[in-house]
Amino acid sequence: MTRLTVDDVYQHIRGVCFKTGPPGTVGAETEWLVVDAADPEAHVPAARVRELVADAGPPSGGSGVTYEPGGQLELSSAPFPGLAALYAALDGDIAHVRDALAPAGLALVGHGVDPVRRPRFQAEHPRYQCMRDYFQAGGFPDAGLAMMCSTASVQVCVDIGADTADAARRWRLAHALGPVLIAAFANSPFRAGRRTGFRSSRQGIWTELDPCRTLPVLRDGAAGDPAEAWARYALDARVMLMRTPAGGWAADPGMSFREWLDKGEPDADDLRYHLSTLFPPVRPRGWLELRMIDALPGRYWPVPVAVAAALMDDPAASAAAEEATEPVADRWAEAARAGLSDPALARAARACFHAALDALPRLGADALVPVVDEYTRRYPDAGRCPADDRPARHVQEETSWVR
């Protein structure tokens, strides 16, 4: 089996992670907590959820259904040539899963962090067990378990860019949007029954967790070649787990990927897997994966997808977003803690949301305008985010919507 060199890593990242082409394709991943509608504080056995969803058959819109270590359910859309087709397919697939769970009294709810239940590890695959061991050995046992078992998000996937210059521009914009998207969609003020002091406790957990694989790749406004930056990030990150000669998995071999390369051991499969264990808020995978958005109350899941895609893909909206986010591009910590109570973030969010609203008809996504407009009026225009809703009322709305 061919062993890798540093040059091979750079070639893979330039040719695969930053493969350019005309923008316009969009995808999304929605993660959901599964609760017993009659007893939201009870843990739901993951095996029971898997059984119910499997019995219902595959979603007709083509979304993949997977499960996180705590039993969170994830629906990953296929890539679509525009927001309208994505919305129709993924909304139908969410309804398909919701209907499969409802007869058993189970519901999908959207929170960035489970507000009531403590983490419970329910994964069976040895890779997840190794991941848990890695965080334990690295000194992140609480944050690691919470991230794996208690968090949920809406992830937005957009194209890299038309060419190298466009890719660099979109890379910078995606990072500059990060604090605004965290603040505007913050929806996790509680964790395991306690208020945390964060609007987005999910982002707070990621901040606590293993900075070599969770910090933004682009920091402090630094410019430069995105592929170069991602290659350095990947090479310097610790190896989380590796395959053993017997076909199993071993956690935390105690070296960076660069150090592993120096030993002459990893191959192309090892590189691909290593890249999948890096979790920065903007991750390049042949597309840009925006990973910083909390899961939301059910009717609002399309809003971050529509807003982020419009700001990335529509030229006028992109220009407005670049101007609006310039003063707040480094306010990641403030976004997680304050949400839109931070005046600078609130101003940026209002400008971005209204630019997105203007862009949606140009992108053929008129059907998304009403829900984005409703969200904009309820939250950014009022300097609020879902975390500012009254907890009891918010949970009641969630449960009633999904039943």
Task: Parse the chain into domains and list their residue ranges.
Answer: 6-402
Provide the β-strand partners of residue 66.
Answer: 74
Q: Is the pLDDT of residue 403 over 70?
A: no
pTM: predicted TM-score of the whole model, two decimal places: 0.94
**In whole angstroms, what separates CA 78 from the centre of its chain?**
16
Q: Is the pLDDT of residue 321 over 80?
A: yes
In angstroms, the CA 129 to CA 132 distance is: 5
Provide the β-strand partners of residue 195.
Answer: 190
pLDDT tens by residue, 192-232: 999 999 999 999 999 999 999 999 998 755 568 999 999 99
pLDDT at 1: 58
Residues 6+ apart with CB under 8 A from 304: 154, 156, 181, 184, 185, 293, 296
pLDDT at 248: 83
Q: Is the pLDDT of residue 398 over 70?
A: no
Local structure of residue 216 (DSSP, 8 states): -
pLDDT tens by residue, 164-195: 999 999 999 999 999 999 999 999 999 999 99
pLDDT tens by residue, 77-128: 999 999 999 999 999 999 999 999 999 999 999 999 999 999 999 998 888 9
Q: Are 342 and 335 in contact (CB under 8 A)?
A: yes
Q: Are 346 and 365 in contact (CB under 8 A)?
A: no
Q: Which residue has the tokens 């929806």?
A: 187
The CATH code of the domain at 6-402 is 3.30.590.20
